[in-house]
Amino acid sequence: MKLQMVDLHGQYLKIKDEVDAGIRQVIETSAFINGPQVKVFTDNLAAYAGAKYVIPCANGTDALQIALMALGLKPGDEVIVPAFTYVASAEVIGLLGLTPVMVDVDYATFNVTVDNLEKALSAKTKAIIPVHLFGQSCDMEPIMRFAEKHGLYVVEDNAQAIGAVYTFSDGTKKHTGTMGHIGCTSFFPSKNLGCYGDGGAIFTNDDVLAERLRMIANHGQQVKYHHKVIGCNSRLDTIQSVVLNAKLQHLDEYCRARYEAAQYYSSHLKSVSGIVVPEELPASTHVYHQYTLKVLDGKRDALKQYLAEAGIPSMVYYPLPLQKQEAFQHITRAAESLEVAEQLAGSVLSLPIHTELTAAEQDLVIDRIKNFFK
């Protein structure tokens, strides 16, 4: 039995007929760029998420960059971003000449909280990028209140939590990516909704922002060869739209499969001394893009090696917090002590989790971890 972090081929086999037929149709019509299937997919995704607009783009990093470009920020403006996340969330801030302000995250959920944001606020703060890490929402109600109070834009990084739902105190439910001014997601193949290459999308409910986002993603033009602003070339290929539309019909099913696998892990591992299983925010569903343990007492790397010796893959997301990355040393303002981010970077370990994972495969992982801690 060969374990994988993600089984994309097994997932493909279940939707093979629809995907193959859709790809053949694109090839036969040769509408490889901006074919009609792109609009079909984005309309369906907007309906699924409850967003007024979905603007497709080439990848999740482009989505974040285009989002910040649309806000009209100026060099030196500050954007708050968690220190414990994938580099893209902060990379685009630096790329645009803005200042990334690193904040710590909550130890239990891995996500930024409003308390962290308050410590980072300055006269130069213009925007916040809350990252819904590993598959569950940040606590968005207080974050949105904070942003409104201080006149800040909120750009949700929803690359890892598409399909998750947040419940507000009045009972209102919203999909991640639709609560801020702009939401961004990635369709990298391993994502919960992933294509067979690169892809991304931007969500907004704002008419003006939607027009600007669409224009920036298309060389800054609304009318061909008439460029109103400096933009970029970022689009979702037609073939990838076909793949994504097929998978979108199964997204809730995929999320349930990941959640059930996570519960199976947690039920068998929560009593193991030396590890901490993932915690869930009560206000958010969790779609478990990653199932991430905290390994205590400096034993993370030894456990990772022990699993590898048995043919069990695992991954460290992320081994170095952003404030420690060389690229950010001279452009970042750290708003507070970032000790939680450092602690997590030294202790997190993600186990295999995907839609095709079986209980038998999970038992191999569970037994190996229990043997390590005997």
- Quote the tokens at residue 183: 């939401």
Distance CA 370, CA 49 (A): 39
The residues near 54 (Cβ < 8 Å, ≥ 6 apart) are 42, 43, 45, 46, 201, 202, 203
Distance CA 176, CA 203 (A): 10
Distance CA 40, CA 31 (A): 14
pLDDT value for 336? 77
The residues near 305 (Cβ < 8 Å, ≥ 6 apart) are none
User: Can you list the residues of the chain whose pLDDT is less than 50?
Assistant: none
pLDDT value for 335? 74
- Quote the tokens at residue 267: 């039920």
Distance CA 286, CA 280 (A): 7
In tens, the pLDDT along 193-208 reads: 999 999 999 999 999 9
Using alpha carbons, list the distances in angstroms from residue 159 to 12, 34, 286, 364.
21, 23, 13, 29
Residue 213 DSSP SS3: helix
Which H helix or E strand runs over 63? helix 60-70
Using alpha carbons, list the distances in angstroms from residue 199 to 214, 252, 314.
15, 20, 25
pTM for the model = 0.97
